[in-house]
Every structure is written in C-alpha cells, then in structure tokens.
Chain A
Amino acid sequence: MPSPLEEPYRLEYVYKRTTGPVTGAFLAGLRSGVLLGSRARDGRVLFPASEVDHRGGATVGLTPVGPGAVVVTAVEARGGHPAFGAAWWALIRPDGADTSMLHLVGAPVRAGDRVHPVWAATPAGSIFDLVWMPGEAQASAATWSGDVVTTVRTPVGLDYVARAGVAASTFFRALAERRVLGERCAACGKVSAPMRGGCATCPDAAVTTVELAHTGVLTMFTVVRFPFEGQRLAPPYVAGWILLDGSDVPLFHLVGGADPDTIEVGARVRAVWADAPVASLEAIQHFTPVSP
C-alpha cells in the first residue's frame, strides 16, 4: 500500500498587538536605552515591567532598574541567533529588580555571571532593541521620557506537515485518476465521502469502498460577493454543498460556470476536472450546472 499523503502546511500571520500602558512603557524605555520594572503592592520590583503582580493585583508604578544585571540561569540557544550566530538564552535579573526575564546573551554565560545591555543602533521600541553581553555595565545617562509604544507587530509562523491518513489518501489519489470513492457503512448503510476510514455515526462498524458518480445536487450554497484577506478567488463566486449521486454526505466545493443570480438549491451539477491530476479535492476544479 502506498504511504499516506503528506503536504507541508505553514500557518503565519503578522499580529498587531496592543501593549497596554505598562508593557508599552517598558518598550518605550527600551527605545530610550532604559530598563523599566514595575512596583508590586508588596514592595517587590518586577522585571520586565508588568501590569499585574502574581496574584492578579495591579502594580503601582514604574521604576528604572539596572543597567547591570546578573544571569540567573542560562542555556545555549539551539540554532543560535540570526544576528549573532551563537547565543545563550538566559534568565536575567537587573540590579534593583526582584524578578528576571528570559532574553538573549550574545556570548557564553552561566549562572552568576554579570551581564550588561547592548542597545540596537536604531531602536524601534521592540524587545529586539536589546541584547546582553557578559561584563559590567557602564553608568548610563539615558532617561525615559514617559512615552508609550502602543502597538507592536508580532510575526508568528508555524510549520506543520499535514498528513491525510490512509483512507483519505486513497480518496485523494483516486481523484487524481478522476474517480470519486466513498465508504459504505456496514451498520447504517450510509455512504460517506470524503473517505475517513469509518462512519461518523457508527464508530465500530466496518466500511467498504464504493465508487460514486461525478454528478449530484447542490443542496446549500452561498454567493461570496466581497473581497477579504487571504481570499484566493475573485468574487462573486459560488461555494456550497454538493450531494453526489450515491452518497449520503455532501462535499463542500466551488460551483463554477453558473450565474450567481439565478442558480438555485436543488440544481443538478457535475464535476469539472482540473487539467493537472492532483491527489487532492482540487483535482475537481469546481462543479458546474448540467442542463436538465
């Protein structure tokens, strides 16, 4: 049996994060070359500056800390750092602070080492304005003017491998051969497609593979009439549920070659195959109405 299908899948977005008054001040402090902590109600100084103490209470003011700092613990950063090459992740506690933050040190360090901040040449009000290097800090004349960075852009990207599984791979590979397969449940007799290796309502029942027609009925649909972020088709276009002849579960797909203003629920449709034989539901370019 061929191995199940796999395809890389990347989920990414540049988030627009609002910082609030305290983290916003901390970031503006970084821009000015100042390390800001916040005072908790019990007198501790939290670093980096936080809106809350560890019991849900608001902190009561900002205070500069450092610039000298001590490494609480450190570990070599796997993969290093794009700007520095080798780097160490460290919990760093500036002088005058009672808590520490996780940040990067651009040279080997271990617990107890003294480190000092190195500031970016063109600070942007970001956590990347700062890295740490071993050694004692120089006295700093930098001051924070009280400004606040209100928004930061946070790119997030996650790489996945989508695995289709055995039954769905059989289904998708058949589509590449312009065949539509389904599964008949031995218990309820219902036919489902796409194949998933079992019946959604009879979990213990066996299923057998059956071949389905390339024609069916449009059971429900919408006409997408507006553009949106991430959209891949030019509106207006029809997307809806197609119940293939011989199946009991509708497929969600596109309907092309149809007049969006006159197409109706119950319309007979047939699959229009894509030119390229892909092992995916994209092997069907769309469904299109058949004249009665």
Chain B
Amino acid sequence: MKRPVAVVGVGRTRCAARRDDVSILGLVREAVDAALLDAGLDHDDIDAVVLGKAPDTFEGVLQPELMLADALGAAGKPVLRVHTAGSVGGSAAVVGTTLVASGRFQRVLVVAFEKQSESNAMWALSPRYPFSPPALAGAGGYFAPIIRAYQQRTGAPADTGLHVVCKDRANGARNPLAHVREVPTLDEAARSPMLWDPVRYVETCPSSDGACAVILASEPGDAPAWVRGAAVRSEPVIFAGRDEITPAAAFACARAVYAEAGVTDPKRQIDVAELYVPFSWYEPMWLEACGLADPGVGWRPVVEGVTAMGGALPVNPSGGVLCSNPIGASGLFRFAEAALQVRGRAGPAQVDGARTALGHAYGGGSQFFAMWVVGADRP
C-alpha cells in the first residue's frame, strides 16, 4: 500500500427480519452515527463516501446513493456507489482502503446496507427473463447444486453443514445485534425441512434489515485496526472449464491479499476469520479457497471444532451471515467484525489475543471476491 490505512471507526445496526422502526435513511444513519461516535469524528471530518449495496430491486430504490446523500453527510463530497452483489460490502471497504492509501483522501466513510423486508429476495433473485426456462430459484437454487457437487467430490461427512449451523448459531446467540439467535441441536438441525436439496432451511441465511459503516483513515485513532492487505478479484459466471466449486478468482483473491499482507502461512498467521457463509457448506469451501484448510478437506476443521470459539481458528464468532444477512451489508459486517477483533472491541465475539484477522466476502454466482487482512500492528 502506498501509505498505511487504519480502521478507526466501526458502526453496526441491530439486524432483524423487519426493522419497522426506521426508514432506509434511519437504518443507514444508525450505522454511520455509531461509526462516527466510535471514531470520535463528525461528518465534517469525512472527505469521501463509499456506498455499497446489492441489487436495487431489493428496495425498489434506483441509485440509492442519490436518495441517501443527505443522510450520509455526503453533500459536496465525492460519493462512489459500489455494486458487486453479495460481496459488495467487502468490495466497498476495499475501494475505501484504496482511496485512503492513494493519498487522495484522509478519511473515508464506507457504508453498506440492505433493507430486505421492503421486498422479497426470492422474488428479486428469481426473475423470469425472456428466452429462459423458469428454473431460477433464488440464491439457494444457484448454490445448492455446487454444494452437492462439493459433497460428492470430497466425500465430506453429510452432517458437515449442520456442524457449521450449530456453531454459527451458538456464536450468534451471544451477539446482541444478530437477527437469528436460536441455537438448534445437531439433531434438531438434521430435522429441518429441505429447501434446495441438499440445503436445509436451517442451513440457509435469513433475510435481514441491517447496515454497517466503517471509517478508514490515514492516521490511527485510539484503537486502530491496520489494513495489512486488501484485494478484490472476479471471474465470468459461465465459461468453458469453469469450476464453480473452486472458483479461480476465490484463490487469486486470497493469494493477492496474503501477498500484500505478508501472510505466508495463513493457517498459522490468521487468528480469526469472518468468512461469507450464506449457506452452511460454504464454510468448508471457503476455508479451502482462503488457504485455511487443505484442498478437499475443508470439512475436517469444521467437524473437529477447529473453527468454533475456543478452537485454533475461530470462524464467524459474530454468528456470520447464517445469523444476520442484510445482503449488501453482509460483506462489510465481515470486514468490520475482523477489524473489531484486532482492536479488542468485538465484545462477546472477542477471540482472546487476536492480532491478525481476515474479512472475506463473495457475491454473484461465486464470481466476485473481496478480502482484507487487518492487524493490530502498524505495517
């Protein structure tokens, strides 16, 4: 990076199926005000604003960055809208990092939100495009075939996904901001209805209202998380020879972020990871892509409890996407939670002694990837 970048403020809203106490503006401001308070800054201190959210069809507000400019205190400042589907919160954080690292801006506000209760994600993600068969069935309809193929290729134990759910829900139950906070037993999870076979209801992220904001700065505040590396990578959703189970862009993004962060042995050097896991089986898959497990055996640390709180590599101590999924904000929540870990401010999710943390997000048809490595130590 051209110059160091620190996360100096983090703001997160409570997530819920429907935040009917706030408008979209109010939801976004809740996160922004919390981030400014955390950083000890005011809107006047912010030089540029980056807004991330997923498809505009979720709220039916086209170009929400225009509607939200006042609420973001963005009047008279550069405003940038980022859109990379589910990974957008992470991509927005990487864009914000780049703006500060470039030397152009001192302090950048990165905001991401989704108010999914304004519509219905299954409707919004299953359009009946002309010339196509009526085969689309939401995000699960896209990812379930890939999960089935992963199961078949690796021979992973059939209950691997259920282990992920029970672990993330136990973490979410400790997170007062989480949307879903019930903790099923393994047996209860196994009896959950099948939605997109082999993905059960309990293994599926909720639809949430929520927002997240981070403030990135060139000078550290009280308790900075230093951005050690930040990367985005993408690939076409369909091309000859594509392996959807191990997308090349997922691995390329990990290589890039680790190279910049000086991470040569992620299994040992990453203390805690917030991975984008909207369907349970994506934990083992992304553990492999992120170099946190060996290829084909990402299920092993899951079933052995390595990724649980108290394990050698806790994954999603916040409860992750399986407990709260305001889609456009879910990536930024991952990045923010990673920053809170190395600042020692993760509350009930805090992993003792976390010095280096990974934030990760993916989106679209496993085609957009965003990652950052944050550390307690100045680079």
Residues of chain A whose beta carbon lies under 8 Å from any beta carbon of chain B: 5, 7-9, 11, 13, 15-24, 50-58, 150-151, 154, 156, 162, 164, 168, 172, 185, 188, 190-192, 199-201, 219-226, 228-233, 236, 239-241, 248-249, 252-254, 260, 265, 279-282, 284, 286
Query: Is A225 a contact of B197 with CB atoms below 8 Å?
Result: yes
CB distance from B174 to the nearest CB of A (A): 28
Query: Is A151 a contact of B20 with CB atoms below 8 Å?
Result: yes
CB distance from B127 to the nearest CB of A (A): 7
Asked whether B148 is an interface residue with its Cβ less than 8 Å from the other chain, the reply is: yes
Give the residue of A18, A19, A20, A280 whose beta carbon is less than 8 angstroms from that of B18: A18
Complex: chain B residue closest to A8, CB-CB: B130
Point out which of B144, B145, B238 has the most chain A C-beta atoms below 10 A from its C-beta: B145
Contact with A along B292-327 (1 / 0, CB 8 A): 000000000000000000000000000000000000
Cα A201 to Cα B239 in complex, Å, equals 7
Asked whether B195 is an interface residue with its Cβ less than 8 Å from the other chain, the reply is: yes
Residues of A within 8 A of B199 (CB): 222
- Whether A222 touches B70, Cβ cut-off 8 Å, given contacts A51-B29, A249-B239, A254-B135, is no
Query: Is B236 a contact of A265 with CB atoms below 8 Å?
Result: no
Q: What are 27 residue pairs bridging A and B, where the CB atoms are less than 8 Å apart in the complex? A: A5-B131, A9-B129, A16-B117, A17-B23, A17-B118, A18-B24, A18-B117, A20-B25, A20-B26, A51-B26, A56-B32, A56-B72, A162-B129, A190-B240, A192-B239, A220-B149, A224-B141, A226-B195, A228-B126, A228-B137, A229-B123, A231-B122, A240-B145, A249-B238, A249-B242, A253-B133, A281-B133
Interface of chain A, main secondary structure: mixed
Query: Is B131 a contact of A168 with CB atoms below 8 Å?
Result: yes
Residues of A within 8 A of B122 (CB): 228-231
CB interface residues, B 15-63, toward A, < 8 Å = 18-26, 29, 32, 43-44, 57, 59-60
- Whether A239 touches B239, Cβ cut-off 8 Å, given contacts A15-B118, A51-B23, A280-B132, is no
Query: Is B59 a contact of A52 with CB atoms below 8 Å?
Result: no
Query: Is A230 a contact of B126 with CB atoms below 8 Å?
Result: yes
CB distance from B130 to the nearest CB of A (A): 4
Residues of B within 8 A of A230 (CB): 120, 122-123, 126, 128
Residues of A within 8 A of B126 (CB): 228, 230-231
Which 9 pairs from chain A and chain B are nearest by CB? A56-B73, A20-B23, A190-B240, A220-B145, A222-B144, A200-B239, A7-B130, A223-B197, A248-B240
CB distance from A209 to the nearest CB of B (A): 16
Residues of B within 8 A of A154 (CB): 60
Query: Is A23 a contact of B23 with CB atoms below 8 Å?
Result: yes
CB interface residues, B 245-298, toward A, < 8 Å = none
Complex: chain A residue closest to B147, CB-CB: A222
Cα A56 to Cα B119 in complex, Å, equals 26
Query: Is A220 a contact of B148 with CB atoms below 8 Å?
Result: yes
